[in-house]
Amino acid sequence: MDDIGESSKSGSGISSPKSGKTECSREEDRNVKQVSPLRGGGSRNTSPLGRVGSRNTSPSRQKVVKTKPRGLDEETVATFGKAVHPDVQMEDNIWAMLPEDLLNEILARVPPFMIFRLRCVCKRWNSILQDGSFLKFHSQVPSHGPCLLTFWKNSQTPQCSVFSLPLKTWYRIPFTFLPPWAFWLVGSSGGLVCFSGLDGLTFKTLICNPLTQTWRTLPNMHYNQQRQLIMVVDRKDRSFKVIATSDIYGDKSLPTEVYDSKLNSWSIHQIMPAVNLCSSKMAYCDSKLYLETLSPLGMMMYRLDTGYWEHIPAKFPRSLLDGYLVAGTQKRLFLVGRIGLYSTLQSMRIWELDHAKIMWVEISRMPPKYFRALLRLSAERFECFGQDNLICFTSWNQGKGLLFDVDKKAWSWIGGCALQSYNSQVCFYEPRFDASIY
């Protein structure tokens, strides 16, 4: 199982390779040639804290210093202003005898992208990270927070980078564990990532966990054609579902199909009523799936609990050029799009659906300086997706993304090499070790 390799601070390029001292690190240097987000050391230390890094603990150094989170390279981490006192030297023989349950609880709180490097400390830690008791502790700690996952192919080799919003850092994740098919990114939910593609002439749906480097294909659908898919994970039930709607070529005679991981099978449901869809983009909110429609004007809504479609007559704002449906938290549904017929009068706006009045209410506008920087040409295309009241914008000709926090009304840029590929696909991602592909 390949380790997560390089990392870089938002806005910076890829850092130069460094070599570690452990056997696992040497294997990575030969195969992946990526830089670890954790520092290598000259001596082997099995301490959970001593392995991460060390500083001068001389009594003469008594002043408080500002430091970055230990274990990350100098050019990978944004500045943290928290004052930290020098560490106390710890005894290896004491930490080597740490009780199993206490070690599991400590490791469960380590940022997930660093745990891969901790596997190389010793065989004991490598086995613990695959143990059910560690996964139980990991499932009980707060989530690492939202991340952006970008996927692309370089010379037919799958590539993946993840930007951690809490750490403001890019991490490269090896994706060579996936089969060599022609597949594309569907989306992510609850720590799992869904792909669909072709194995020869056969349409396949693939589920994987990038952190555990595990994957599997789902059984074929009853009508096994290329379909619009969306995946949703139920963490409480420890299961997931995949919803297949219309055929990507516009065949409206196909019934809706739903895959249930607990049954490991597809079930057939109602055919979507004859409508003209605005786009293939879908949003899943409060156990309901939404799609934009031109005729009849509004949205189609699919209820997962009943398996039926119904029309929602929510009229779109006037002069809307292109719109994206984005799901938020607590039943919130957003519409994001450009307004204006002429390039000098265009603006990007965000609306929220008033479920009681069935109408869109404007809640924010993108500042002009961000709009001009994101879309330099009026005909330029952009992508938009969201999670947990965060909305991300990417443009095909930009090497950066724009993030909007709906709750804080704050805009910020996300830079880095991972968004520079013209054929990259992006989605929000929550890193979790306990997300099962079964």
Asked whether residue 254 is domain-assigned, the answer is yes
Please report which confidence band the pLDDT of residue 64 belongs to, taking 50, 70 and 90 as the band edges: very low
Percent of the chain predicted with pLDDT > 70: 73
Instruction: Report pLDDT for 345.
Output: 74
Please report which confidence band the pLDDT of residue 49 belongs to, taking 50, 70 and 90 as the band edges: very low
Task: Give pLDDT tens digits for 107-141.
Answer: 888 888 888 667 677 777 777 777 888 888 888 88
The reply to whether 242 and 122 lie within a common domain is no
Where b means 16+ CB within 10 Å and e means fewer, 160-180 reads bbbbbbebbbbbbbbbeebee
- Please count the CA atoms within 13 angstroms of the CA of 82 that sit on its side-chain side: 8
The reply to whether 352 and 402 lie within a common domain is yes
Asked whether residue 341 is domain-assigned, the answer is yes
pLDDT over 80 at 377, yes or no? no
pLDDT over 50 at 33, yes or no? no
Asked whether residue 156 is domain-assigned, the answer is yes
The reply to whether 119 and 236 lie within a common domain is no
Asked whether residue 295 is domain-assigned, the answer is yes
114: enclosing H helix or E strand = helix 112-118
Do the bridges between strand 214-217 and strand 410-415 make them parallel or antiparallel, or are there none, so unpaired? Answer: unpaired
Give me the amino acid identity at 221: M
The reply to whether 114 and 166 lie within a common domain is no
The conformation of residue 218, written as its DSSP 8-state character, comes to P
The reply to whether 263 and 124 lie within a common domain is no
The reply to whether 230 and 328 lie within a common domain is yes
Which whole-number Å values give the CA distances from 17 to 268, 421, 436, in the listed order? 51, 21, 32
Taking the alpha carbons of 395, 209, 189, 430 in that order, is the dihedral positive or negative?
negative
Taking the alpha carbons of 122, 146, 80, 369 in that order, is the dihedral positive or negative?
positive
Asked whether residue 157 is domain-assigned, the answer is yes
The reply to whether 173 and 200 lie within a common domain is yes
The reply to whether 265 and 391 lie within a common domain is yes
Asked whether residue 356 is domain-assigned, the answer is yes
Report the CATH number at residue 243: 2.120.10.80
CA distance 216 to 436: 11
CA distance 275 to 252: 9
Instruction: Report pLDDT for 58.
Output: 41
Tokens of 295: 């005729």
Task: Give pLDDT tens digits for 234-264.
Answer: 988 889 999 998 776 656 678 999 999 999 9
Asked whether residue 33 is domain-assigned, the answer is no
pLDDT over 80 at 406, yes or no? yes
Q: Which of 70-74, 104-108, 253-257, 334-338 has the lowest mean pLDDT?
A: 70-74
The reply to whether 123 and 147 lie within a common domain is no
Please report which confidence band the pLDDT of residue 281 belongs to, taking 50, 70 and 90 as the band edges: confident
- The residue that leads in pLDDT, 402 or 33, is 402
Instruction: Report pLDDT for 328.
Output: 93
Domain termination site, one of 90, 122, 139 = 139
Q: Under a CB-based contact definition with an 8 Å cutoff, are residues 128 and 104 in contact?
A: yes
Taking the alpha carbons of 283, 323, 383, 275 in that order, is the dihedral positive or negative?
positive
The reply to whether 341 and 312 lie within a common domain is yes
Tokens 């695959």, located at residue: 130
pLDDT over 90 at 42, yes or no? no
pLDDT over 80 at 209, yes or no? yes
Domain termination site, one of 86, 112, 139 = 139
Mean pLDDT of the chain: 78
Tokens 């991300």, located at residue: 392
Task: Give pLDDT tens digits for 297-315.
Answer: 899 999 999 999 999 999 9
The reply to whether 287 and 201 lie within a common domain is yes
- The residue that leads in pLDDT, 92 or 164, is 164
pLDDT over 90 at 215, yes or no? yes
How many domains is the chain built from? 2
Asked whether residue 58 is domain-assigned, the answer is no
- The residue that leads in pLDDT, 188 or 2, is 188
Instruction: Report pLDDT for 299.
Output: 93
Tokens of 417: 């090499």
Domain region containing 255: 143-429
Domain termination site, one of 91, 124, 139 = 139
pLDDT over 60 at 321, yes or no? yes
Mean pLDDT of 321-328: 90
Instruction: Report pLDDT for 82.
Output: 40
The reply to whether 402 and 354 lie within a common domain is yes
